[in-house]
Amino acid sequence: MRIVEVRTCVLRLSTTDVYLGPLTNGQQLRDEDGYVVRAPWRSLYSARNETVLVRLRTDDGSVGWGEALAPVGPEVVATAIDQLLAPQLLGRDPRRVRPAWSELRDLMRERGHLVGHQADALAAVDIALWDLAGKVHQAPLADLLGGAFRTAVPTYVSGLPKPTDTERAELAERWAKDGATAMKLHLGQGVEADLATFDAVAAAAPAARIAVDAHWAYSKPEALRLGQGLDARGALFLEAPVAPEDVRGHADLAARLVTPVAVGESLRNRYEFLAWMSEGALGLVQPDVARTGVTEAMVIAELAAAHHLPVAPHHSVGLGIAIAAGIHLAAAVDNLLALEYQPTPFSVAQRILRTPLRADASVLHLPNGHGLGVDVDEDFVVRNAVRQHTVKENET
């Protein structure tokens, strides 16, 4: 058995409910706006759900699907797959996932590309290899990873994408009534404003644990004030408080706060995570499987366990393949806190699947079936792809 075809598909799916809601001035993002900065955050965002999917096909017709978290510029990741990874995949035995991952990682390692778009491309391919291996072995991915600790994965509701505290509180109250036990606020709007939002949501959903994502917006003194306010309020965690490269700053905060400092979405591999853990710079580990791949995510989870740290996998706007991979990862991790659940993008994510993933207010259910356990609607993917590219064995 060998891989004979690698196809990438870039998608940009429009939605009436934009990820993280309107801008702070109340303006709604539109498809025609392109990429914009959502001040005070510094990153680019799109009104659409953008991603790159990869499909591997073997000589016996077996297929495996993968996805990279690529919320902007998915063509960059797709090109890395097409030109750098796909030719090296052709002819490989799909059952040898870890050797393939190791060799693909090393292709650009000496040139400093263990991170960024090359890592995202490798993550998509790695997920596809595991999906394919599960189908070949007729086993769910979680079983290949050593078995599931749970089939109902605990989650926290992420976002509450409303522009005012009153509206956020109303939404939090509805989620709590539906059974949500934890929620995360996307803030970074100023220390006093963030604490006021926390208080409004906590009053509306008093039984729920509440976390804050500061989106890397603060200086260390500001983050310390915010963290101390969250300490007094019993917050679940404080995510991304200062600049994403500031390991020392996060370590200083972590040493002075009771609230766990959470980091992970900007990191891609074991070496980065190990450096942060060794510095005591995080109290909650947040790998995103669509940026690390399954192989590396499991190593990161074991490193976290060795440092006695819980894991809460990150997820934002990935589609059904990335979500399914995240659920299998979370099911197979012993030291799990929760998996991030984004209700707004979740409905968009289902569009590429023939059988939807199952979610309640407090859990995501492990998919049944081999590999990722999802049935990708390839007709929908092909119809909606804005860019497709195929590399076949006889073309190399």
Q: Which of 314, 315, 328, 370 is catalytic?
A: 314
User: In the annotation, is 314 catalytic?
Assistant: yes
Strand duo 209-213 + 339-341: pairing: unpaired
Q: Compute the distance between CA of residue 32 and CA of residue 320 in angstroms, rounded to an integer.
A: 25
Q: Compute the distance between CA of residue 131 and CA of residue 14 in angstroms, rounded to an integer.
A: 27
Beta carbons within 10 angstroms of residue 173's beta carbon: 16
Q: Which residues are catalytically annotated? A: 314
